[in-house]
């Protein structure tokens, strides 16, 4: 019964009692090339009951870690704080925060209900203008405190940058184990920061390239479960899988359409591979390319009007954009080397890709018309970028060479700064970033 | 169908394992202790004609490709010609051709590339008179390397199409 209540609460997750945004004087311009992180004071969340030791402290540290991790905020060392807030209703002494160079202050207080429920009231203050920018109350089950902290960090991020956040998100990936010549690969998901990893398949069947559905409820991926590699959908709640249509050959490289109603993927036909769209409501399929080349790795533009994909029709792998009906194919990559695994940014502006040149594997971005190519990271083997839902951060995997080498997942700002290793239980590849969850 | 074939394949391997167990142990001992004469020729002749070991050892089960290529060179054609002769000798036997790529490509492209390699082998076998319904294919991309180092010495072994014997049923 308790489990059921907890489950329902989890599903209901977070209730917003009150939210109020006031007009912005304080704002970070995230498109400014030479960015100075915004100083923010995040004291430990006030907890008068202390049913769980350090919970208030842990929540405040996670919010600070999220914001610092974005590269856009500079959380001030709490040792420098001069004022000790004892209640959320207490108005801060703004002067004592200004003297330690805080421009913003996040004050919060938590309380418990029925042991299992935690309620948090928080205020984001503009220390200079001496006014509250956000006042909000959230409740959730206690074991979901990390999600709660991520939601608060997202709200702060949104209020101060004007852009959607990305902290309360998940990443689907392939968890790898075993020797390089007989790698065991399992479908897995984790929080965006690497916490709460969960394995979804046993490892008996080789699985590759999971991609989140737009509502974050399903994964579409490649599995060898029936011998021939085919595209399947896995439902995260029911844990059920089903094959995406019956095709005569290998289907691979799947992705959801932005409305989640279609799958776009490749079908291998003889020597060539072509791109098909599969309607999930009636299982009608539509051919979008028809050449004897390798046409694969399709990705929709966020408005679903265009599709970017890779093809070797010129002799090497290059990026092409076509209309969503397959017409009007135009090449967009013209640099030296070959280009693959294109992914359209959720903002619509950039396309991220893997580039292979002179034996090195790079992650880069270019504008959707092919201009403005920029390499984000370069090395022995970087592959498979995925976008944060706000289009500001990329994850990808980096493979180290040699017999003991393997893949690890990294995140990096699209400016190329702030690269971070995502801590996973073992080797990990093929990341796919979800949309915001709550 | 495929399950049945895999099962049959396992049985075949098991049989080979039992039958060749002694010979293999002998060989290992020689390698470990450096003694004895080279008995490899005997071991080869011990392979049951028409068995998967016979095919692998006496015919050659795999052909190799250069980077990003799916075309068969002369060495590859010789191996496939021997495979075709062997398959003509044992018309009850089917094969599955596994296409593979090295680690120096992106995942999706390598799946398609290795499928193309398997198809290249199929086409050549067909041109030599082997009927297509005796040959299945599967593509592994870069997922199943046989050699794990990160240099051409290993990559050249991994860019391959491997014919695996499955008993007809």
Report if residue A83 sits inside a domain: yes
Residues A148 and A265 in one domain: no
Q: Do B120 and A271 touch (CB under 8 A)?
A: yes
- What residue in A sits closest to B98 (Cα-Cα)? A228
C-alpha A53 chain-centroid distance: 31
B4 and chain A in contact, CB less than 8 A: no
Residue of A nearest to B153 (CA): A402
B113 in contact with A, Cβ within 8 Å? yes
Q: Are residues A150 and A64 in the same domain?
A: yes
Cβ atoms < 10 Å from Cβ of B57: 16
Residue of chain B whose Cα is closest to the Cα of A360: B104
CATH code for the domain in which residue B147 is found: 3.30.1330.60
pLDDT at A376 over 80: yes
Whether A194 and A311 share a structural domain: yes
* Distance (Å, whole) CA B17 – CA A346: 55
A240 to chain B nearest CA, in Å? Answer: 22
Instruction: List, in sequence order, the alpha helices (H) in B34-151.
Output: 40-46, 52-54, 74-89, 107-127
Closest CA–CA distance from residue B40 to any residue of chain A (Å): 26
Closest CA to A384 of A402, A370, A363, A358: A363
Same domain, A113 and A192: no
Handedness of CA A246, A249, A252, A256 (dihedral sign): negative
Query: In the structure, what pLDDT confidence band is assigned to residue A152 with cuts at 50, 70 and 90?
Result: very high
Residue B107 within a domain: yes
Residue B79 CA, chain-centre distance (Å), reads 10
What percent of chain A is predicted at pLDDT more than 90?
A: 86
Q: Does B138 touch chain A (CB under 8 A)?
A: yes
Of B2, B68, B107, which is closest to A384 when you measure between CB atoms?
B107
Give B51's DSSP letter: S
C-beta separation of A295 from A309 below 8 A = yes
In chain A, how many domains are there? 2
Q: Which residues contact B130 (CB under 8 A, 6 or more apart)?
A: B84, B87, B88
Q: Which of A226, A273, A340 sits opposite B106 (nearest CB)?
A: A340
**Same domain as A383, residue A417:** yes
Burial (CB count within 10 angstroms: exposed 0-12, middle 13-18, buried 19+), residue A43: buried
Bridge partners (DSSP) of residue A409 are A397
Using a CB–CB cutoff of 8 Å, tell me whether B150 touches chain A: yes
Residue A401 has φ and ψ, to the nearest 5°, of -80, 170
Same domain, yes or no: A147 and A25? yes
Measured distance CA(A104)–CA(A205) in Å, rounded: 51
From B115, B120, B149, residue closest to A268, measured CB to CB: B115
C-beta separation of A142 from A40 below 8 A: no
Residue A7 has pLDDT above 80, yes or no: no
Minimal Cβ distance to B150: which of A249, A266, A402: A402
Q: Do B148 and A181 touch (CB under 8 A)?
A: yes
Q: How many domains does chain B have?
A: 1
Average confidence (pLDDT) over B112-127: 97
pLDDT number for residue B47: 85
Contacts of A289 (CB under 8 A, 6+ apart): A274, A275, A295, A309, A311, A322, A326, A329
Is residue A122 located within the same domain as residue A226? no
Which site among A208, A271, A359 would you substitute to test the B interface, given the most B Cβ atoms closer than 10 Å to its Cβ? A271
The pTM score is 0.87
DSSP annotation of B132: G
Give residue A34's pLDDT band: very low, low, confident or very high (50, 70, 90).
low
Q: Are A98 and A35 in contact (CB under 8 A)?
A: no
Residue after which a domain boundary falls, among A121, A137, A161: A161
CATH of the domain at A61: 3.40.50.10070
Q: Is B97 helix (H, G, I), strand (E, B) or coil?
A: strand
Q: Are B108 and A250 an interchain contact pair (Cβ–Cβ within 8 Å)? A: no
A378 domain-assigned: yes
Angle at the Cα of A125 from the Cα atoms of A119 and A129, rounded to 5 degrees: 160
Whether residue A399 lies inside any domain: the answer is: yes
Q: Give the model's pLDDT for residue A248.
A: 86
Residue B31 lies in a domain: no
Q: How close, in Å, is residue A145 to chain B by CA atoms? A: 37
**Which of A115, A134, A161 is a domain's end point?**
A161
Contact across the interface for B105 and A401, Cβ inside 8 Å: no
Q: Tell whether A116 and A213 lie within a shared domain.
A: no
Nearest CA to CA, how far is A290 from chain B (Å)? 15
The ipTM estimated for the assembled molecules is 0.90
Q: What is the 3-state secondary structure (H, E, C) of chain A?
A: CHHHHHHHHHHHCCCCCCEEECCCCCCCCCCCCCCCCEEEECCCCEECCCCCCCHHHHHHHHHHHHHHHCCCEEECCHHHCCCCCCCCCCCCCHHHHHCCCCCEEEEEEEEEECCCEEEEEEEEEECCCCEEEEEEEEEEEHHHHHHHHHHHHHHHHHHHHCCCCCCCCEEEEEEEECCHHHCEEEEEEEECCCCCCEECCCCCCCEEEEEECCCCCEEEEEECCCCCCEEEEEECCCCCEEECCCCCCCEEEEEECCCCCEEEEEEEECCEEEEEEEECCCCCEEECCCCCCEEEEEEECCCCCEEEEEECCCCCCEEEEEECCCCCCEECCCCCCEEEEEEECCCCCEEEEEEEECCEEEEEEEECCCCCCEEEEEECCEEEEEECCCCCEEEEEEECCCCCCCEEEEEEECCCCCCEECCCCCEEEEEEECCCCC
pLDDT tier at A26, thresholds 50, 70, 90: low
Determine the pLDDT at residue A49: 87
Domain boundary among A110, A142, A161: A161
Strand ranges across the sheet with A318-323: A295-300, A306-311, A318-323, A330-331
Q: Residue B138 sits in which domain range?
A: 48-167
Residues A193, A294 share a domain: yes
CA A308 to chain B, closest CA, distance in angstroms equals 14
Give yes or no: residues A339 and A190 share one domain. yes
Q: Which residue has the tokens 């990003």?
A: B68
Q: Is A438 part of a structural domain of the chain?
A: no
Rounded to a whole number of angstroms, the distance from the CA of B63 to the nearest CA of chain A is 17
Spatial distance between the Cα atoms of A73 and A390, rounded to a whole number of angstroms = 17
Residues A227-258 pLDDT 10s: 899 999 999 999 999 999 888 899 999 999 99
* Best A317, A319, A333, A343 residue to mutate vs chain B (most B CBs within 10 Å): A317
Q: Torsions phi, psi of B59, nearest 5?
A: -110, -45
Q: Which residue from A222, A384, A403 is facing B149, i.e. has the nearest CB?
A: A403
Compute the average pLDDT of residues A278-298.
Answer: 96
Cβ pair A206:B149 closer than 8 A: no
Instruction: Tell me the residue range of the domain where A75 lies.
Output: 2-161
Instruction: State yes or no: pLDDT of B66 exceeds 80.
Output: yes
Reported as a pLDDT band with limits 50, 70 and 90, residue A407 is very high
Give contacts of A273 with chain B, Cβ < 8 Å. Answer: 112, 115
Residues of chain B with Cβ-Cβ distance to A297 below 8 Å are 106, 108-109
Pseudo-torsion of CA A406, A408, A413, A418, nearest 10°? -100
Q: Which residue has the higher pLDDT, A268 or B40?
A: A268
Residues A341 and A388 in one domain: yes
* Average pLDDT value for residue range B143-148: 97
pLDDT of residue A27: 65
CA distance A188 to B144: 20
Query: Cβ B107–A380 below 8 Å, yes or no?
Result: no
Q: Which residues of B touch A182 (CB under 8 A)?
A: 144
Q: Within a domain: residue B137?
A: yes
Provide the number of CB pairs (under 8 Å) joining chain A to chain B: 97
Chain A touched by B116 (CB under 8 Å): yes
CATH number at residue A178: 2.120.10.30
Task: Name every chain A residue with its beta carbon within 8 A of the beta carbon of B107.
Answer: 208-209, 341, 383-384, 430
* Whether A204 and A157 share a structural domain: no
Structural domain includes residue B94: yes
Chain A interface test: which of B98, B115, B138, B166 (most A C-beta within 10 Å) = B115
The answer to whether residue B91 is domain-embedded is yes
A151, A168 Cβ separation under 8 angstroms? yes
């Amino acid at each position: 019964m308790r489990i059921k209540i907890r489950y329902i609460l989890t599903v209901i997750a977070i209730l917003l009692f009150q939210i109020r945004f006031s007009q912005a004087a304080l704002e970070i311009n995230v498109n400014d090339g030479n960015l100075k992180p915004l100083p923010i004071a995040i004291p430990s969340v006030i907890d008068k009951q202390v049913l769980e030791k350090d919970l208030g402290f842990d929540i405040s540290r996670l919010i600070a870690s999220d914001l610092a991790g974005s590269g856009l905020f500079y959380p001030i060392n709490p040792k420098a704080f001069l004022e000790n807030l004892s209640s959320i209703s207490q108005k801060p002494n703004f002067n004592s925060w200004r003297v330690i160079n805080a421009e913003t202050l996040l004050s919060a207080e938590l309380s418990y209900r029925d042991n299992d429920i935690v309620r948090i009231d928080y205020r984001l203050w503009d220390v200079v203008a001496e006014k509250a920018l956000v006042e909000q109350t959230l409740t959730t089950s206690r074991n979901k405190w990390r999600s709660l902290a991520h939601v608060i960090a997202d709200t702060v991020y949104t209020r101060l940058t004007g852009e959607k956040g990305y902290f309360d998100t998940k990443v689907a990936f392939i968890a790898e184990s075993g020797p390089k010549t007989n790698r065991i690969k399992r479908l897995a998901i984790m929080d965006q920061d690497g916490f709460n990893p969960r394995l979804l398949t046993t490892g008996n069947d080789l699985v590759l390239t999971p991609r989140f559905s737009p509502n974050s409820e399903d994964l579409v991926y490649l599995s060898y479960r029936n011998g021939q590699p085919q595209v399947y959908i896995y439902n995260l709640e029911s844990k059920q899988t089903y094959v995406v249509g019956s095709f005569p050959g290998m289907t691979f490289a799947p992705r959801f359409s932005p409305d989640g109603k279609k799958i776009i993927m490749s079908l291998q036909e003889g020597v060539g591979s072509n791109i098909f769209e599969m309607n999930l409501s009636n299982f009608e399929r539509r051919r979008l390319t028809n050449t004897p080349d390798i046409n694969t790795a399709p990705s929709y533009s966020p408005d679903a009007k265009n599709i970017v994909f890779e093809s070797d029709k010129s002799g090497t792998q290059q990026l092409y954009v076509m209309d969503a009906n397959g017409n009007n194919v135009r090449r967009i990559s013209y640099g030296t080397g070959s280009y693959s695994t294109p992914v359209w940014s959720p903002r619509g502006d950039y396309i991220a890709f893997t580039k292979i040149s002179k034996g090195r594997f790079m992650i880069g971005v270019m504008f959707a018309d092919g201009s403005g190519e920029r390499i984000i990271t370069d090395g022995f083997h970087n592959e498979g970028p995925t976008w944060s839902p706000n289009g500001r951060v990329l994850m990808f995997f980096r493979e180290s060479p040699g017999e003991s080498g393997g893949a690890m997942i990294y995140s990096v700002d699209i400016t190329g700064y702030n690269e971070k290793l995502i801590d996973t239980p073992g080797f990990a590849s093929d990341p796919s970033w979800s949309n915001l969850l709550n | 169908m495929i399950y049945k074939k895999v099962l049959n394949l396992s049985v075949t391997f098991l049989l080979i394992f039992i039958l060749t167990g002694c010979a293999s142990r002998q060989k290992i001992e020689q390698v470990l202790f450096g003694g004895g004469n080279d008995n490899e020729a005997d071991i080869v002749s011990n392979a049951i004609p028409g068995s998967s070991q016979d095919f692998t050892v006496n015919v050659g089960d795999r052909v190799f490709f250069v980077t990003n290529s799916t075309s068969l060179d002369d060495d590859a054609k010789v191996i496939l010609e021997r495979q075709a002769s062997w398959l003509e000798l044992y018309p009850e036997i089917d094969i599955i051709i596994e296409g593979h790529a090295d680690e120096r490509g992106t995942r999706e492209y390598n799946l398609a590339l290795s499928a193309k390699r398997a198809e290249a082998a199929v086409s050549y076998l067909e041109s030599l008179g082997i009927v297509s319904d005796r040959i299945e294919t599967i593509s592994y991309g870069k997922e199943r390397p046989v050699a794990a180092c990160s240099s051409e010495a290993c990559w050249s072994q991994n860019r391959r199409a491997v014919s695996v014997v499955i008993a007809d049923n």
